[in-house]
Amino acid sequence: MANVIIMGAQWGDEGKGKIVDLLTEQADAVVRFQGGHNAGHTLVVDGKKYVLHLIPSGIIRGKKCFIGNGVVLDPTALIDEMQEMANLGVSITGAGFKISALTHLIMPYHRELDIAREKRKGKGKIGTTGRGIGPTYEDKMARRGIRLSDLYNRQVFEAKLQENLAYHNFMLENFYNAATFTLESIRDDYLRMADTLAPFVDDVGTLLADAMDAGQAILFEGAQGTMLDVDHGTYPYVTSSSVVAGGACSGSGVGPTHIDYVLGVTKAYTTRVGSGPFPTELTDAIGKHLYTVGHEVGASTGRPRRCGWFDAVVLRHAVRANGITGLALTKLDVLDGLKTIKICVAYQRNGRRMETMPADPSIMDVCEPIFEEMPGWSEPTVGIERFEDLPQNARDYIQRLESLTGVPADILSTGPDRVQTILRRNPFSHTR
């Protein structure tokens, strides 16, 4: 059976949740490998909407779901989400849900640091989700982080917490002029939550290896998007994890030789939440159209998403950095009714044409997009399930994107619902 990575090819919110849910039918297990509850993955089944932040989107189909070691885990957020899913009638326990003991914990001081830092940056802020993601990954790399497994050794946990509080309280109080924390308040809360989570804590890397040995198919569910990757994105306006396909391996404990197909999810246009360069951004009536028709409001923070034309430079960058096999092109229906559609085919600066993303992302801010125009289509594409039924101009647009990015659009999405999809080639049937 094939193992497939599904990841964002733009700045996040490409529709990964919908595509993961769709393809989970073919998978035996779904694993999240990076990020945390900064993610908001939406899926709609029979008109019922689910938004997942930490729990893999495969949970809706009752498949085995794993949180890999590369994720940063806020136990409060996870327990709330488990309750929310239970309220919606989705069983967590029945699905064999497991969390890697190696995940790093988001602590209350990480959230405080995230918010205090953004406040201090003022206009130059990154526009983070304020969930403590960055400071938690910093502690991981600084080798002082607290992992889920530490909660089950009280002595180790207390010692680590003490050491972390001494450091972070000093920074909070003296550098950020922000609230500090006592050991007791955090310790007691976290130990209580450790009891709730105990049945789910496991060795996820080994469970995945066992599943693959048994011939099972694994789906790796990425969060965020390539342009938010800490190395390959628009640094410093990025998140703090390895978003790219390579991160699926290190973030789950599975070697790259096990991966058969990388599916890059992209909108038929572009959106971005938070600050940072965005060459094809539209602040005119068309930007408003994309925002309104596309309901472009953040699934996690409720912030409006910035909207713009499709950027083939960004997509070629994503194809290269992830080794994308094929694309899932979503929200095609949002372009319905536009007279003309523009595609950014390259950038220019000081009269020089650039086909690839500038190595220094700050240059991206001052690049001018070079646009190509295509005629739009007036017929609605909403809910179309066969490629042949799409208007000719929509098919031409898709073909142009394929030729500009060099990869096939194997999946097309024509609405938020699971069934509003055109499956041209199934990634799980793909063999290298």
- Residues near ligand IMO (CB under 6 A) are 8, 11-13, 38-41, 126-129, 131, 133-134, 223-225, 228, 239-240, 273-274, 299
Q: How far is the CB of 41 from Mg ion (least distance, A)?
A: 6
Tokens matching residue 330 = 């979503």
Q: Is 22 in the site for ligand GDP (CB under 6 A)?
A: no
What residues from 375 to 414 belong to the interface with ligand GDP (CB under 6 A)?
413-414
396 annotated active-site:
no
Give the amino acid at 330: T
Q: Is 44 in the site for ligand GDP (CB under 6 A)?
A: yes
DSSP conformation letters of 386-416: -GGGS-HHHHHHHHHHHHHHTS-EEEEE-SS
Q: Is 13 in the site for Mg ion (CB under 5 A)?
A: yes
Contact range with Mg ion by CB under 5 A, out of 95-103, 291-299, 320-328, 372-380: 291-299
Report the 3 state secondary structure along 295-335: CCECCCCCCECEEECEEHHHHHHHHHHHCCCEEEEECHHHH
Tokens matching residue 78 = 């996870």
- The correct pick among 8, 15, 40, 415 for binding Mg ion (CB under 5 A) is 40
* Nearer residue to ligand IMO within complex by CB, 135 or 369: 135
Please, which residues bridge with residue 66 across strands?
31, 98
Q: Is 41 in the site for ligand GDP (CB under 6 A)?
A: yes
Write the CB contacts of 345 (distance below 8 Å, at least 6 apart in sequence): 312, 313, 370, 371, 372, 404
- C-alpha distances (whole Å) from 412 to each of 40, 296, 379, 415 are 21, 19, 17, 10
Find tokens 């790399």 and name the residue.
141
Contact range with ligand GDP by CB under 6 A, out of 174-182, 192-200, 328-336, 357-365: 328-336
Strands 421-423 and 409-413: antiparallel
Contact range with ligand GDP by CB under 6 A, out of 14-22, 231-239, 344-352, 373-381: 14-22
Q: Is 299 in the site for Mg ion (CB under 5 A)?
A: yes
Return the one option of ligand IMO, Mg ion, ligand GDP, none that residue 133 interacts with (CB less than 5 to 8 A, by type).
ligand IMO
417 annotated active-site:
no
* Nearer residue to ligand GDP within complex by CB, 128 or 413: 413
Nearest to 368 by CA among 385, 345, 338: 345
* Nearer residue to ligand GDP within complex by CB, 41 or 131: 41
Contact range with ligand GDP by CB under 6 A, out of 74-82, 107-115, 160-168, 326-334: 326-334
Burial track 25-61 (b if 16+ CB lie within 10 A, e otherwise): ebbbbbbbbbbbbbbbbbbbbeeeebebbbbbbbbbb
Q: Is 232 in the site for ligand GDP (CB under 6 A)?
A: no
Return the one option of Mg ion, ligand GDP, ligand IMO, none that residue 239 interacts with (CB less than 5 to 8 A, by type).
ligand IMO
Contact of 244 with 322, CB cutoff 8 Å: yes
- The correct pick among 5, 18, 242, 244 for binding ligand GDP (CB under 6 A) is 18
Other beta carbons within 10 angstroms of residue 113's beta carbon come to 23
Find tokens 């960055």 and name the residue.
134
Find tokens 């569910």 and name the residue.
221
Closest residue to ligand IMO, based on beta-carbon distance? 274
Other beta carbons within 10 angstroms of residue 173's beta carbon come to 12
Contact range with Mg ion by CB under 5 A, out of 7-15, 20-28, 47-55, 183-191: 7-15
Contact of 364 with 279, CB cutoff 8 Å: yes
Tokens matching residue 327 = 């694309």
Nearest to 411 by CA among 4, 1, 3, 2: 4
Contact of 316 with 309, CB cutoff 8 Å: no
Return the one option of ligand IMO, Mg ion, ligand GDP, none that residue 15 interacts with (CB less than 5 to 8 A, by type).
ligand GDP
Q: Is 21 in the site for Mg ion (CB under 5 A)?
A: no
* Nearer residue to ligand GDP within complex by CB, 8 or 75: 8
What residues from 269 to 298 belong to the interface with ligand GDP (CB under 6 A)?
295
Q: How far is the CB of 229 from Mg ion (least distance, A)?
A: 15
Out of 13, 311, 333, 417, pick the active-site residue: 13
Return the one option of ligand GDP, ligand IMO, Mg ion, none that residue 322 interacts with (CB less than 5 to 8 A, by type).
none
Contact of 226 with 322, CB cutoff 8 Å: yes
Q: Is 334 in the site for ligand GDP (CB under 6 A)?
A: yes
- C-alpha distances (whole Å) from 123 to each of 197, 275, 279 are 39, 9, 19
Out of 41, 104, 168, 232, pick the active-site residue: 41
Residues lying near Mg ion in the complex (CB under 5 A) are found at 13, 40, 299
Active-site positions read: 13, 41
Residues lying near ligand GDP in the complex (CB under 6 A) are found at 8, 12-18, 40-42, 44, 295, 299, 330-331, 333-334, 413-416
